[in-house]
Structure 1
Amino acid sequence: MNKSVFFGALAFTGLAAAGASAATLEDVQARGTLNCGVTTGVPGFAEPDADGVWQGFDVAVCRAVAAAVLGDPNAVEFVPTTGKTRFTSLASGEIDMLARNTTWTFSRDTDLKFDFTGVNYYDGQGFMVPADLGVSSATELDGATVCIQTGTTTELNLADYFRVNDMSYEPVPIETGAEAVQQFLAGACDVYTTDRSALAAQRAGFENPDDYTILPEVVSKEPLGPLVRHGDSEWFDIVKWTLYALIAAEEYGVTQENVEQLASEATDNPEVNRLLGTEGELGAMIGLNQTWAKDAIAAVGNYGEIFSTNIGEETAIGLARGLNAQYTDGGLIYAPPFR
Structure 2
Amino acid sequence: MKRIAACLILVFLLVAPALHAQGSGSPTLDAVRGRGFLICGVSGTTPGFSLPDSRGEMRGSDADFCRSVAAAALGDATRVRFVALSSTNRFTALQSGEVDILARTTTWTLGREASLGLLFAGVTFYDGTAFMVKADSGLRSARDLDGATICILPGTSTELAVSDWFRQNGMRFTPVLIDSTNELRAAFLADRCDSYATDSSSLAAFRFNAGDRREAFTLLPELISKEPLGPLVRKGDDKWFDIVRWTLFALLAAEEQGVTSANARDQLGSTSPDIRRLLGVDGDLGRALGLDPRWAFTAITQVGNFEEQWQRNMAPLGLARGVNALWSRGGLHYPPPFR
- CA RMSD, Structure 1 to Structure 2 (Å): 1.0
Give the aligned partner of residue 228 of structure 1: 233
What letter matches 2:103 in structure 1?
A: A
Quote how far apart the aligned CAs of 1:335 are. Answer: 0.5
The gaps in structure 1 that reach 5 residues or longer are: 1-20
Q: Distance in 2 between matches of 1:117 and 1:152?
A: 19
Pick the aligned partner of 2:204 from 200, 206, 215: 200
Q: Distance in 2 between matches of 1:331 and 1:40?
A: 28
Give the aligned partner of residue 108 of structure 1: 112
What letter matches 1:41 in structure 2?
A: T
Give 3-state SS (helix, strand or coil) of 2:177's partner.
strand
Select between 73-82 and 179-188 the one with higher mean Cα deviation. Answer: 179-188
Q: Distance in 1 between matches of 2:240 and 2:68?
A: 14
Determine if contact 1:22/1:231 at 8 Å carries over to the other structure.
no
Percent identity reads 52
Alignment of 1:224-263 (within 5 A): 224-263=229-268
Quote how far apart the aligned CAs of 1:151 are. Answer: 1.7
Q: Output one character per residue of 1:201-240: Cα deviation in whole Å (capped at 9) or x when no partner.
A: 1111114011100000100010000110000000000000
Give 3-state SS (helix, strand or coil) of 1:171's partner.
strand
Query: Over alpha carbons, which structure has the higher Rg?
Result: 2
What letter matches 2:321 in structure 1?
A: R
Give 3-state SS (helix, strand or coil) of 2:244's partner.
helix
Pick the aligned partner of 1:177 from 177, 181, 184: 181
Determine if contact 1:97/1:227 at 8 Å carries over to the other structure.
yes
Quote how far apart the aligned CAs of 1:163 are. Answer: 1.4
Instruction: Report how many residues are paired.
Output: 314
Alignment of 1:184-195 (within 5 A): 184-195=188-199
What letter matches 1:54 in structure 2?
A: M
Quote how far apart the aligned CAs of 1:22 are. Answer: 4.5
Give the aligned partner of residue 7 of structure 1: none
Q: Output one character per residue of 1:59-90: Cα deviation in whole Å (capped at 9) or x when no partner.
A: 11000000111111110000111110100000
Alignment of 1:44-59 (within 5 A): 44-59=48-63
Matched, 1:270 2:273: yes
Q: Distance in 2 between matches of 1:51 and 1:203?
A: 23
Give the aligned partner of residue 38 of structure 2: 34
Give the aligned partner of residue 302 of structure 1: 305
Q: Distance in 2 between matches of 1:123 and 1:245?
A: 21
Q: Distance in 2 between matches of 1:128 and 1:291?
A: 44
Determine if contact 2:44/2:58 at 8 Å carries over to the other structure.
no
Determine if contact 1:40/1:82 at 8 Å carries over to the other structure.
no
Pick the aligned partner of 2:223 from 203, 218, 227: 218
Give the aligned partner of residue 69 of structure 1: 73
Determine if contact 1:146/1:172 at 8 Å carries over to the other structure.
yes
TM-score (norm 2): 0.91
Q: Distance in 2 between matches of 1:262 and 1:36?
A: 30
Pick the aligned partner of 2:160 from 152, 156, 160: 156
Q: Output one character per residue of 1:167-192: Cα deviation in whole Å (capped at 9) or x when no partner.
A: 21111111022211111111111100
Q: Distance in 1 between matches of 2:110 and 2:168?
A: 23
Determine if contact 2:151/2:176 at 8 Å carries over to the other structure.
yes
Q: Distance in 1 between matches of 2:334 and 2:147?
A: 42
Give the aligned partner of residue 319 of structure 1: 319
Give the aligned partner of residue 14 of structure 2: none
Determine if contact 2:44/2:51 at 8 Å carries over to the other structure.
yes
The gaps in structure 2 that reach 5 residues or longer are: 1-24
Determine if contact 1:271/1:338 at 8 Å carries over to the other structure.
yes
Quote how far apart the aligned CAs of 1:166 are. Answer: 1.6
Give 1 or 2: higher helix fraction: 2
